Chains A and B, each alone.
Chain A
């Protein structure tokens, strides 16, 4: 303990109730980030207990402390580099034997450990008896019984941690296990060499370093290799032992070490720590549920039902708060327009800032509800079942059972959003499948693409709009799966990662836990909208506003506008004879027409317009003219922009994506557009660069390199396929 503060690390297996305990301990005083260099989530919180400030770090859930997964490495590096005063190890008491495997590794590392035997209520219900006093004596660590779900035992846990930390000012005291005569002899020899060489300034127990070298740990071996001669001697010992074990036992050091660890645990439990009532089988309830839920026929049906129900709920419930957000932002626009005098500043604030950020924040209600349901399914244990049932299908495409959910959220059932979809890929443990999922999820028919599809289908395929939408959805899935297959056999090549996944028993989630999960994820989205999106909106606004129309052209519009306006005013005030209602309306329409024409000319003259015009030479291959080009350029910022930009460029003024009928008619009448170019445009919209919010999410979840790759590759692929489709379709 340094002064009056204490750092404790919370560790344990996935599904052990670790996060529930973290939430119970820290309440809302927590914040989320990433571990340096890895995309593993880092959660920290503070609390005060008996006058001591306790800093709690939630380590990622792991089954082991090897250095193979990002989670394991992050957990281990935190323990080694930050040296927290205490590890609070949360164990699923119902699966004590497996849970202790991680505990033994903490003890071998020497870090002070307090054990929290969690879910003791379930254990008692099943007729299992755990002698916690005996376990505590045998492991020489405090053991506390807890039920994290209702916060039971958390005070005692903190007491134990504080007591233990107070008495534990000595250096780390590692547990020493015996691994049989061969390994023990090698370990003893290696420990001597390591102590003499003072690897890592002696900060880690020498025996632990030796163990890691025997286990073939690349991370530790890499560090030791820097010390030259001593490492060569160690490597020779490892090699000699491996050869000996292969010859005599047909085994290798790593396997033998884990056998002995489990052997040690089994002997602990047999000494009287665990007594089971054999008549009462464990997880009987979950088993019965699973017999139905993962049944060969009922399972997939139920899964479809759950997915469909989830989307219905998201959009049914989400509709109302979405409306409130829209109302709020249109009120804000109105306010800004009233307060700020007309001109560039007003345009920047209203169109650039409020329009851009509002468009993104408008999705917040949908995202909150989606995350709520998702966290619920996850905490319930159903997500693991879904991955289990679909793994076989997804593996064909180089993906993983866990890729299903990110796809669905991204718009696998039309109307999702790729931002939470990409973030949901976090649940995938395997880096390659995860990357492939992140890169392909944006192909799905997200909510922002839907208006584009509806517009085009309505204009060019009116006889079968429903069918067309169905095929668009199927095409999106096909594109995602096929591109995933392509990527997995080229740029992200590699063996399928092992699918070893626990099916946790079904547990009814706590409202508090689900709400906290939802809040964390939604807040990240909002923060992004406030920063990155704001900057991009302003840039995009500038590209579509500057350079402005030359003075003489603008004056021309202004003059004819003034003439018309004067005529209109005169007609309204004096009610001149011979001017009836129809003529008045005609004047108004002509006035609006002038404004729209000016908007069209201004857009065409702007940077974006010039780029769109310049690109025509290339995009003609796919049947896109300059108006479509600008719309698609805007669509890189946010796909909703496609419809509104088309509205401006077709001189229709602002078009509400939901009410695009006049635009649809205009498109159908435009000789530059045809069924073939509409088809090409639909294909391009499915495939091309993800919107900026998604790109930012991809950069955070993978890297900026991969985000850039997605922008370039998807656009290239989209254009190639769209051009091919246009060329074929226009010749038919």
Chain B
């Protein structure tokens, strides 16, 4: 199993599994409410024209978040 990397570094069209979410407070709550909890499979499906925000596929829906928020999320690449 590879080392956890930051979600910001995950290239488009690669799959990964959420390893941990380091954010607490409101941001952490929102991230978890949307289903980003450890063990979830996510895939980066696109980035906005200025490379930020990023669009993720998880739990059968598409979620967008900013790179500054992705910084709080560690994932493990599934190649």
Contacts and interface: CB of A to CB of B under 8 A. Distances in A.
B45 to A, nearest CB: 7
B28 A254 contact: yes
For the residues of B in contact with A, the DSSP-based class is mixed
A685 interface: no
B28 A500 contact: no
A428 interface: no
Contacts of A95: 59-61
B30 A258 contact: no
A500 B64 contact: yes
A98 B28 contact: no
Given A388-B53, A498-B69, A499-B65, A255 B32 contact: yes
A502 B38 CA distance: 19
Interface string B54-67: 01000111111110
B48 A282 contact: no
A403 to B, nearest CB: 15
B46 A291 contact: yes
Contacts of A392: 48, 50-53
B63 A500 contact: yes
B31 to A, nearest CB: 7
Nearest to B23: A498
Contacts of B50: 392-393
Nearest to B36: A500
A402 to B, nearest CB: 12
Interface residues of B, number: 34
A375 B35 CA distance: 28
A499 B60 contact: no
A679 interface: no
Given A296-B49, A299-B49, A258 B60 contact: no
Contacts of B66: 391, 395, 498-499
Contact of B29 (A64, A282, A496): A64
B50 to A, nearest CB: 4
Contact of B48 (A63, A68, A297, A389): A389
A97 B58 CA distance: 10
A127 to B, nearest CB: 13
A188 B42 CA distance: 35
Interface string A106-128: 00000000000000000000000
A503 B59 CA distance: 13
B49 A294 contact: yes
A648 interface: no
Nearest to A390: B48
Interface string A496-517: 1011111111000000000000
Contacts of B48: 294, 388-389, 391-392
A63 B34 contact: yes
B21 interface: yes
Contact of B64 (A92, A388, A496): A388
B55 A503 contact: yes
Given A255-B21, A294-B49, A499-B69, A262 B35 contact: yes
B26 interface: yes
Contacts of A200: none
Interface string B17-44: 0000100101111111111011010000
Nearest to B38: A259
B37 A258 contact: yes
Given A95-B61, A97-B59, A98-B59, A498 B46 contact: no
A500 B60 contact: no
Contacts of B21: 255
Interface residues of A, number: 46
B28 to A, nearest CB: 7
Given A97-B60, A498-B26, A258 B32 contact: yes
Contacts of B35: 97-98, 101, 262
Interface in A265-290: 282-283, 286-287, 290
Interface string A54-88: 00000000011010100000000000000000000
A680 B33 CA distance: 51
Interface in A379-424: 384, 388-389, 391-393, 395, 401
A160 interface: no
A96 interface: yes
Interface in A16-38: none
Contacts of B65: 498-501
Given A255-B21, A262-B35, A291-B46, A502 B61 contact: yes
Contact of B55 (A68, A297, A388, A504): A388
A36 to B, nearest CB: 24
Given A101-B33, A255-B21, A259-B38, A503 B28 contact: no
A315 interface: no
A359 interface: no
Contacts of A389: 48-49
A286 B48 CA distance: 16
B65 to A, nearest CB: 5
Given A97-B59, A294-B48, A501-B65, 15 more contacts: A98-B34, A258-B29, A258-B33, A258-B37, A262-B37, A286-B62, A295-B49, A299-B49, A392-B52, A392-B53, A498-B27, A498-B65, A500-B30, A503-B55, A505-B62
12 contacts: A68-B29, A94-B60, A97-B59, A98-B35, A255-B21, A290-B46, A384-B64, A391-B53, A393-B50, A499-B69, A502-B63, A504-B61
Interface of B: 21, 24, 26-35, 37-38, 40, 45-46, 48-53, 55, 59-66, 68-69
Question: Which 4 residue pairs across A and B have the least CB separation, nearest first?
Answer: A64-B33, A392-B50, A503-B62, A258-B32
